[in-house]
Amino acid sequence: MNRFKASKFRHTEARLPRREAWISGVRAGSVPSCGNHVKSSCRWIAFSAEAAGVLGIVPLECEDGGKRTISQLCCHSDVVTDFDFSPFDQLLLATGSADETVKVWRLPESGQDIPGGVGLTLGPGEAPVDVLQFHPTADAVLASGAGKRVTVWDLGQQQPLTVLDSHGDQLQSLTWKRDGRLLGTSCKDKKLRIFDPRAGPAASQSVPGHDNNKDSRLLWMGSSDCLISVGFSQMREREVKLWDTRRLSGAMFTMALDTSPGVTIPLYDADTGLLVLAGKGENLLYCFEVAPTQPALTQVTQCRTEGSTRGLAAVPRLALDVMACEVLRVLQLTDTALVPVSYLVPRKSVQEFHEDLFPDCTGMLPATDAQGWWAGDSQQVGRVSLHPARRPTETFTSPIIAGTGPTNAGHTDTDTGHTDTDTGHTDADQSEASGYSSPSSLASPGSVATSLSASTGPSSGFASSPSQKSLQSLLGPSSRFRHAQGRALHRDQHLTNLRGLSLTTPGECDGFCANQQRVALPLLSAGGQIAVLELSKPGRLPDTAVPTIQNGAAVADLTWDPFDPWRLAVGTCVPALPGCARRVPQLQGLITPLTTARPLWCTAGEDARIRLWRIPEGGLRETLQEPEAILRGHTEKIYSIRFHPMASDLLVSSSYDMTVRIWELSAGREVLCLRGHTDQIFSMAWSPDGKQLATVSKDGRIRLYEPRRSSQPQQEGPGPEGGRGARLVWVCGGDFLLVSGFDSRSERRILLYRAQALPEGPLSVLGLDVAPSTLLPFYDEDTSVVFLTGKGDTRVFLYEVTPEPPYFLECNSFTSNEPHKGFVFLPKTVCEVREVEFARALRLGQSSLEPVAFHVPRVKKEYFQDDLYPPTRVWWEPALAAGAWLDGQDGQQRRASLRPADMVPVSEAPKEAPARKFVPASVYLEEKSDEQKKEELLSAMVARLGNRDDPLPQDSFEGVDEDEWD
């Protein structure tokens, strides 16, 4: 009869809260990992933030009904892959990272401003840490999975107790049995394994799990002998399986869910038997009741949420609202919020405690410690009541890390400078090893960038939160451009009906180039054709062919001469057309004679040649077939070309032959050749003063040259890890280098280096997102704002770069409706300062070119905003000639103000007297009494209803004669 007994949870309902109950203002990370990306204790919630190596920390409950403050924990030098709260010490958090280390942190007590603990660091190991889980019965025991092995740590001794390394492939999940005796794992080799860590490092049992090697998860069903696994079948269906370790030859129950590609996150509550499943990237939550004895999975309910799931966590049972019959609560992490979803059992009486729904649960006092458990102690954690009047009030503080309040761990007041008896660290040491940021919204992850060292990354520990009460000390520094807005200008300024565009230019090329007067666009047609369009003539292009440049070879890179708006340089990619080559006479095998009377344009290509083209006054009216000059010297195809920022007639080029060559155009010769690269050169950039040249290459190195002194690099440092592409740009007056690239997990990130200390590695690293295209940076030296976007993106990131921590201050980003094929910025002189516009770009779409203006919202726009517009460098005038620069001279360009003659600087605007806010006494003297107000209200109502003696409308209706009635 028990088989057919109805479950008390069969009517469980999932209730989504109102938006007011959401924890909003977060920005979740998109790092692919095996973790759940969000975890909860009875005090805190931790979740993956967008910035690499950063976790968001927020209280589980609001205090006094106020708004919860989100803080950031900068804990690792690479992405955080998984993390877990101790089941006993609610302030203890363990984190694992791709930097191959495990760290343990003590979070502050709720409401405290100054956290005082120092974290532990375990490792680094031999592989990125993938999964973490604390032991369920013993304090200070932690299991971590990295690569093909599981390490069981004694946190008190900071040493491994054992290493379980009999896995055949990448570990995907691990789970402890609730009695703490056994540990189960799932692996990419499609096997499930059971270990008794105290008996030996080999698996005691193993069985084929799911037929597909995509991510699988394994959960132990409390203290029973049964497990739950989720994964994918051979047909790529998501499935759930139940296993019995007493008969582990195969699954005792299998159920297919659907064919969705999202990895399933499972949450199981052993006290109720409820299993919640959610797919990453989806908005559907399943809830099943598990009956292992039958065995069966019975669907209880499912709910559809507003946002897509990035992560999922269960709230501890001791934090549930039992008087509302809340039997389970999960936290759904979306892109912008944490959404608590409550599972309630409807009962008529909600004023009493329902013992049948809330049996005693596992308490928070450990049964033993690490050494006791390893010696064979298998005592179990005591059970406690969930009744509000009988709940335990004692709390446990693990002795492995000193607490923030009075504890028996030997911790003293950090404000007095006394040392911690367990660690010997002083207060100054703790502030140096800062990992805890001041409270700030994770909507601005750039406000607390991850600081790291090239060798060890950030140290463990917390920094003291600021005690000042000023807004800036509480929220951290913010950018003047944080409210910057980007908008596409009116359609009458667009160039439309663009046809035959080449959308396959190499990654080292921006896709097209522009100056203040015209734009050059590579075309897809044979022969490396380039369209040159005048920006002063917007509108729809004719359907007929427009005049083009016949470059003779596919375009690899192209750029305008900053000192000559009619000269273009083009580098090519394939053998030149015979007709074009024959028409160009050679000079000493290097360069054809240059005509200096007219301006030039230069192109670089794959046939190892650089062509210089001159655009006629007024633009192209006919096809241009003969270049003014051809530079020869490279032996392999050319990657990129750049003009010198200070000296005229100087051009630098990089090639697949691993050399960087500098050309003097006026003399028609190669003057310098820089060597030292061992792989593809991704990007190069001149310093603002033109003295140095920086490069980043596929060999993962950043190099700094002083071309006039040596052909070998003066400095080298570690660059981005991935070999998919990188860019660099000089920032902060030439004292720093900003590099965009990828990490080992294909996440796009930006790195900041001190230019004169490249071997020390990056000062700061900021992860942005996961996308295939390389981020193309543009730096505005007047505002110190860097713009970052990639070909094929729809979003442009904006950050203000500062020479002091936190280095990156996030600003509003710009988003377009469709992906752009290129995004190039125009000179500062085209900006409309009357509209507080500080940057303008051209966005290349599928068939259109539209200008995008970035401006700062200001109230007094009638004044010139001189705080946003310092005197700009006159970049369009050379400071010296090529020969003078080669002789060792250094020029300096003058600066000019962007202020129109008829505008007054806002700093000189007259100060307005503050308006007095008071209510005249006459208002009080003429205040009407309550009786007067009633009379006026009644009179108004009567006027709307009309007079009682007025005839009704139906009185005027005509009926039928009496004799017509029957």
Which tens digit of pLDDT belongs to each residue from 272-303? 999 999 998 888 999 999 988 888 889 999 89
Alpha carbon distance 382, 365 (integer Å) = 7
Rounded to two decimals, the pTM is 0.53
- The tally of domains found in the chain comes to 1
- For 941-964, letters b (16+ CB in 10 Å) and e give eeeeeeeeeeeeeeeeeeeeeeee
**Which of these, 641, 671, 669, lies nearest to 653 by C-alpha position?**
641
| Contact predicate 236/256, CB 8 Å | no
547: cis peptide before it, omega within 30°? no
What does the pLDDT read at residue 507?
Answer: 81
- What Cα–Cα distance (Å) separates residue 205 from each residue in 151, 750, 790? 18, 45, 49
* Strand ranges for 292-375 from DSSP E: 296-304, 311-314, 326-333, 337-344, 361-362, 368-369
* Residue 628 belongs to a domain: no
Kindly give the parts of the chain with pLDDT less than 70: 1-6, 29-32, 63-66, 110-118, 350, 402-476, 573-607, 913-928, 944-966
What does the pLDDT read at residue 267?
Answer: 95
Q: Which range of residues forms the domain containing residue 130?
A: 13-371
Q: Beta-carbon neighbour count of residue 882 at 10 Å?
A: 21
| Contact predicate 211/229, CB 8 Å | no
| Contact predicate 38/313, CB 8 Å | yes
Which tens digit of pLDDT belongs to each residue from 529-572? 999 999 999 999 998 888 899 988 889 999 999 999 999 999 87
Total residues found in the chain within this entry:
966
* Residue 671 belongs to a domain: no
* Residue 874 belongs to a domain: no
DSSP state of 421: T
What does the pLDDT read at residue 949?
Answer: 58
**Amino acid at residue number 732:** C
Sign of CA dihedral 860, 863, 867, 868: positive
* Residue 586 belongs to a domain: no
* Residue 358 belongs to a domain: yes
* Residue 483 belongs to a domain: no
What does the pLDDT read at residue 937?
Answer: 81
What does the pLDDT read at residue 94?
Answer: 94
* Residue 622 belongs to a domain: no
What does the pLDDT read at residue 5?
Answer: 57
Say which residues have a Cβ less than 8 Å from residue 131's Cβ, sequence separation at least 6: 34, 35, 81, 82, 96, 144, 145, 171, 172, 173, 174
CATH code for the domain in which residue 261 is found: 2.130.10.10
* Residue 295 belongs to a domain: yes
